[in-house]
Amino acid sequence: MTKKADFLASARRTIQLETEAVKDLENHLDGDFQHACELMSQCTGRIIVTGMGKSGHIGRKIAATLASTGTPAFFVHPGEASHGDLGMFTSEDVVLALSNSGETAEIVTILPLIKRMNAPLISMTAKPDSNLSRAADANLHIGVEKEACPLNLAPTSSTTAQLVMGDALAIALLETKGFSKEDFAFSHPGGSLGRQLLLKVENVMHSGNDVPCVKEGTSLHNALFEVTQKRLGMTAVLNEAGVVTGVFTDGDLRRALDHEVNLKGTPIEQVMTVNCTTIRADILAAECLQIMESKQINALLVVDDENKPIGALNMHDLLKAGVL
């Protein structure tokens, strides 16, 4: 019990110190942050993020966040830059260099070359008077009074401050660019978010001969064969012009059986649902799911501008596509 209490006290102290470090960042926001954002937003190349050690790990995350929110960016290890990777840098790029001390040898070594190629340089340091800060066109100050580490050695509060400052840059640029959900989806096509924002009904629906359809005048008995054969739990009902006039579903069948209707002698239009809900092929599959859930239906017809059926899908199709 004593150890558990000590662990909790340590965790609370760490969270408190790092929270204070993040809050203090607001006091460091000044014209340099504004200038840094202007340099990055006007960049015609890429944002090249570099950093050593823990700052390098944070730098990789900042580069990934920038890239996924509309600001092309990548990470270059400063040690590798001195051995050939500096060839990735161009005068069209903006360099964002992270170093708590501002004196990291691997970064200081490449500073003259970055300046020589005339690439704008943004530093993120805790020491405004360091070599890196003085060489930068804009310095983002992330100094913290105390690391969460009780020895005040391990980068903890300082790396959290770096991470938050990186997020502040990314979001400021995102808002300036008018970055949308659709833009975000294009850089995240493989995840569930990408499927929700990119996948359309036309990518999921059954089409052609797989769409269940019967004409008005078809007996309930024969309509059931169509429902069973196509396995979507419903069928469209069409007039002579091929226009949807209704839909017959499992629910309609249950209601018909409750009324003991004649399966072979009853025309489908007498038991179908008229004014049925339909959708267009170009809407998002996620919107289709919302319609199904709000109306408590399991399948939908997809129609064209003339209200003629071009597809159909059910909840199982959305589940297979990963929309659910």
pLDDT one-digit tens code per residue, 17-70: 999 999 999 999 999 999 999 999 999 999 999 999 999 999 999 999 999 899
Q: What are the backbone dihedrals phi and psi of residue 32, each rounded to the nearest 5 degrees, phi first?
A: -65, -35
Q: 251 CB contacts (<8 Å, ≥6 apart)?
A: 273
* pLDDT of res. 6: 84
CATH classification at residue 265:
3.10.580.10
C-alpha 169/C-alpha 157 separation (Å) is 18
Residue 256 lies inside a defined structural domain of this protein: yes
How do residues 99-156 score in pLDDT, each as one tens digit? 999 999 999 999 999 999 999 999 999 999 999 999 999 999 998 989 999 998 899 9
Domain that holds residue 147: 2-179
The neighbour count for residue 159, using CB atoms within 10 Å, is 25
- Torsion over CA: 244, 248, 252, 256 (sign): positive
pLDDT of residue 161: 96
Name the one residue in this structure whose structure tokens are 């408190």.
16
Q: How many C-beta neighbours within 10 Å does residue 14 have?
A: 17
Distance between CA 137 and CA 42 in Å, rounded?
14
User: What is residue 178's predicted lDDT score, i.e. its pLDDT?
Assistant: 86
**Whole-structure pTM value:** 0.71
Whether 313 is covered by a domain: the verdict is yes
pLDDT of amino acid 1: 47
Express as a percent the part of the chain with pLDDT over 90: 79
Cross-strand bridge partners of residue 314? 299
The reply to whether 174 and 243 lie within a common domain is: no
Q: Of 112, 146, 179, which residue constitutes the final position of a domain?
A: 179
CATH number of domain containing 136: 3.40.50.10490
> How much is the pLDDT for 147?
93
**Residues 75 and 167 grouped into a single domain:** yes
- What Rg, from alpha-carbon coordinates, does the chain have? 31
Q: What is the mean pLDDT of residues 298-309?
A: 95
Under 8 Å CB-to-CB from 322, ≥6 apart: which residues? 192, 195, 199
Looking at residue 206, its pLDDT comes to: 96
CB atoms within 10 A of CB 169: 24
The tally of domains found in the chain comes to 2
CA distance 5 to 135: 47
| Distance of alpha carbon 82 from alpha carbon 147, whole angstroms | 30
Q: Is residue 307 part of a domain?
A: yes
How close are the terminal C-alpha atoms of the chain, in Å?
A: 43
Q: How far is CA 24 from CA 30, 93, 116, 126, in A?
A: 13, 30, 35, 12
Q: What is the DSSP pairing of strand 309-314 with strand 299-303? A: antiparallel
Same domain for 97 and 154, yes or no, is: yes
- Closest alpha carbon to 55 in 38, 34, 75, 84: 75
In three-state secondary structure terms, 279 is strand
Give domain status of residue 238, yes or no: yes
Rounded mean pLDDT, 223-244: 94
Map 185-249 to HEC letters: HHCCCCCHHHHHHHCEHHHHCECHHHCCEEECCCEHHHHHHHHHHHCCCEEEEECCCCCEEEEEE
Give pLDDT tens digits for 253-275: 888 888 888 888 899 999 999 99
| Token pair recorded at residue 194 | 């990408």
